[in-house]
Amino acid sequence: MRLWVLLSLLLLQEALPHVIGQPAKSKRPKEPGENKIKPVNKKLKPKTPKTKERESADSSLKSQSILTQVMGKGHVQKLAATLSLTAGQSIELRCKGSNVTWNYPSYLDTFKDSRLSIKQLDRYSQLILANSTAADTGEYSCWLQLCNGNKCRKDETKTGSTYIFFTDKEELFVPTPSYFEIVYLNPDKPAVIPCRVTTPSAKVTLHREFPAEEIEIDGTGIIYDAKKGFVFQHPTPDHKGIVYCKAESQGAPQISIKYHLLYVEVPKGPPSTTIAVSSSRARLSDRVHVVCTVLGEPDVDVNFRWQYPGQETRSRGRIAGGWNPSPGKRDLL
C-alpha cells in the first residue's frame, strides 16, 4: 500500500509541469547585485500647468492679425511687419470684421486724396490705394470696433498693422509739405528728426549745417530707424542747431529738408494761463482787445474756449488765434 502511494506521488510530480504548460526550470545561484534595478535613461516630458496653457492661449489671441493683402483673384495673404512695393503700384488691403477702423498716413486725409478709397462690406473692410507715390510710405493699420450704443472702443485682440515702403529712386526721402521743420529737444524725452526713407536699404547719415560736419551715430545715444528717422535718446544743449539728412542707394546721394533743433526746458506740470485786456473801461461800440496767453510745452496741443457776457445772445465778438515758439496766444476782439 505504501509503495503504491509513493509511486503515485512521483508520477504526479513528473506530470504536473506538463499539465500547467510550463517546463521545469533549473535554478542557478544569483550573481552579487543581480537583483538591483538598473537605471534607465528615459526622458520624461514635463507637464505644463494649466495656468500656463491659458496664458499662451491668451497671448496668441492678442497677437491675432486681421489684416491681409489681396494678391490676385480670390487669393489673399497675411502681411508681415514691413512691406516694400514700387511706387506707382496699387494695393488692396482687407481687414476682417463688420465694424473696422483704419489708420494710414494723415496727409491722405488732409488733402482728401481721391486715390484712397475705403469700403465696409459684410465680413471685412476694404482699403484701396491707387497709383501709389513715395509720399504714401508709412504705417497702415486697422482694428475692430466694439460698440455699445453710441460708445465704441478698440478691440485689442483683433488688430492688424504693417509699414509699407513705396520705393522710388528719385525720392529716397518721404516727401513733406514744407522745406523747413522745427524739432524741439526736451531733456526728459527722446526727440525724433523725421527724415524717413522710401527704401529701407538706403544708407542714411546726419549732418550739421554749421559747422559743416557729419554727426556721429553711435547706436545708443543717437540711433536711426527707417520708419521714424534719427532718434536722440537723451537730448542735450549740444545737439541744438540746423541739421539735415543725406541718403544713398545705388545712385547720387540725396539731401532731406532742413531741421532746426531747439533745446527747451519746460517745468513739468499743466500749462499756465494769463489774461490781459486793452482797457478796463469802454463806451458803447468801442473795441476791447482781450488776450489769453498759455505757457507750457510747445508740442502739447492747447484748446481754447471763451466765455464772455452776451455770448448766448450772439453779440459781436471775433476770436483770432496765434502761435509762436514761446507762448501760445488766443485773442478775443
Q: What is the pLDDT of residues 193-221, one digit of tens each?
A: 999 999 999 999 999 999 999 999 988 99
- For the cut 60, the answer to whether the pLDDT of residue 34 exceeds it is no
Coil, helix or strand for 328? strand
Q: Check residue 45 and give its pLDDT.
A: 54
Q: For residue 106, how many C-alpha atoms fall within 13 Å in the half-sphere facing its CB?
A: 2
Query: Which three cell numbers mark 136?
Result: 504714401
Distance CA 90, CA 191 (A): 34
Band of residue 110 on the pLDDT scale cut at 50, 70, 90: confident
- Kindly report the pTM of this predicted structure: 0.65
Distance CA 100, CA 44 (A): 47
